[in-house]
Structure 1
Amino acid sequence: MGTVIMHSVMSVDGFIADENDQVGPLHDWYFNGDTPITESSDGQYDHSGAGSGVKVPRASAEYVRSIWAAIGTIVMGRNLFDLVNGWEGKPPAGEHVVVVSHRPKPEGWHPEASYHFVDDVTAAIGKAQELAGERMVAVNAGEVGGQILAAGLVDEVAMDVVPVVFGSGKRYFGSITGQHLLEDPHVVIQSDRVLHLSYRVRRH
């Protein structure tokens, strides 16, 4: 089974969006850099296709490319699915998406897309791993991500920390309770307007 990584961009005080689901400057670094992260057919990196328009700081490029290339399945909550309309059936990375939701897929919504609606976080990770095979399962942070971490189903926690203070909003770990120990970070990359961190989850 591939690694399950909880991964999102967040403010220095731990928020992935404000109360109205606005991300403010959190994603600016994806577009303000000078290095495309997608590869064209002739082997040169450009910004066509998936990830269109994404040009990250040079210090971030190799890390972001490696993460995106490794993803087989994305796991997201229904709130994010509704906000972005499931990226119109074309996820930014990977081939499959599992949506944790008590409501089914909207009728007639992109029938060609490999999107699967599951109403339980344990079943969602099981389905995501089945679809991903040996590739990575990327879990979006927030309420669903926090539930998956609390259930002991996350292997690594990755954060792209942006130097902004939100003060309030939607938390990276949602409303998770209790303590959950992580190992020391095995990824620490200082870039332009973003700090990349990744921690393995400590197993008891």
Structure 2
Amino acid sequence: MGTVIMHNVVSVDGFIADENDDVGPLHEWYFSGDTLIIEGADQQYDHSGTGSAFKVSQASAGYVQAMWEAIGTSVMGRNLFDLTNGWEGHPPAGGHVVVVSHRPKPEGWHPEAPYHFVDGVTAAIDRAQELAGERTVMVNAGDVGSQILAAGLVDEVAMDVVPVVFGSGRRYFGDIDGQHLLEDPHVVIQGERVLHLRFKVRR
């Protein structure tokens, strides 16, 4: 099975959005560089839903592209699904999306979309790994991500740290209880207006 990675862009004080789910300047580095993130030879990534191509600094480009291309399945909570309307049925990365939700897929919503609604984090990771095979399962940070980490189902924590202080909002680690030890970072890449970090979860 592939690696389960919990990931998000995050402020230096640990927030992934404000109280109104506004990400503010957290994603500006995705569009302010000079290197287009591409898949294959001719398809450009556009995961933003804005029609803007992702252009990052040269320092970030190799890391970001390799991470996205490794994703087989993404796991998200219902709140993010509702906020984005599931990107209109087009997964932002990978071939499938697993949504952790007590509610089913909205009736009539993009019936062809490779989205799978699962009640519970353990079942969600089982389904995501089944769909991903040997590829990466990428878990969005926040409340659902923290539940998956607390359940011992996350292999690595990845953070794209942006130099901004939010003061309050939605935390990267949600309302997680207790301490969870990580190894020393095995990826440390300084981009422009972002610092990429990855930590293995200590078992």
Q: TM-score range by the shorter chain?
A: over 0.9
SS of residue in 2 equivalent to 1:124? helix
Work out the CA distance in 2 between the residues paired with 1:92 and 1:125.
18
Q: Which 4+ stretches in 1 moved above 4 angstroms?
A: 48-52
Deviation of 1:47 (Å): 2.8
Task: Determine whether 1:47 maps to 2:44.
Answer: yes
CA contact (8 A) 1:155 1:200 kept: yes
**Counterpart in 1 of 2:2?**
2
Summarize the alignment of residues 8-47 of structure 1 with structure 2, pairs less than 5 Å apart: 8-39=8-39, 43=41, 47=44
SS of residue in 1 equivalent to 2:53? coil
Deviation of 1:92 (Å): 1.5
CA-to-aligned-CA distance 1:51-73 (integer Å, 9 cap, x gap)? 75111111000000100000000
Please give the TM-score of this superposition, normalised by the length of structure 2. Answer: 0.96
Please give the TM-score of this superposition, normalised by the length of structure 1. Answer: 0.95
CA contact (8 A) 1:47 1:55 kept: no
Kindly report the root-mean-square deviation, in angstroms, between the aligned alpha carbons of the 2 structures: 1.3
Work out the CA distance in 1 between the residues paired with 2:117 and 2:92.
18
Work out the CA distance in 2 between the residues paired with 1:55 and 1:92.
16
Deviation of 1:50 (Å): 5.7
Report the CA distance shift for 1:158/1:49 in structure 2 as closer, same or farther (over 3 A). Answer: closer
**Counterpart in 1 of 2:174?**
174
Report the CA distance shift for 1:118/1:48 in structure 2 as closer, same or farther (over 3 A). Answer: closer
**Counterpart in 2 of 1:187?**
187
CA contact (8 A) 1:10 1:16 kept: yes
Provide the aligned length of Structure 1 versus Structure 2.
200
Work out the CA distance in 2 between the residues paired with 1:39 and 1:3.
21
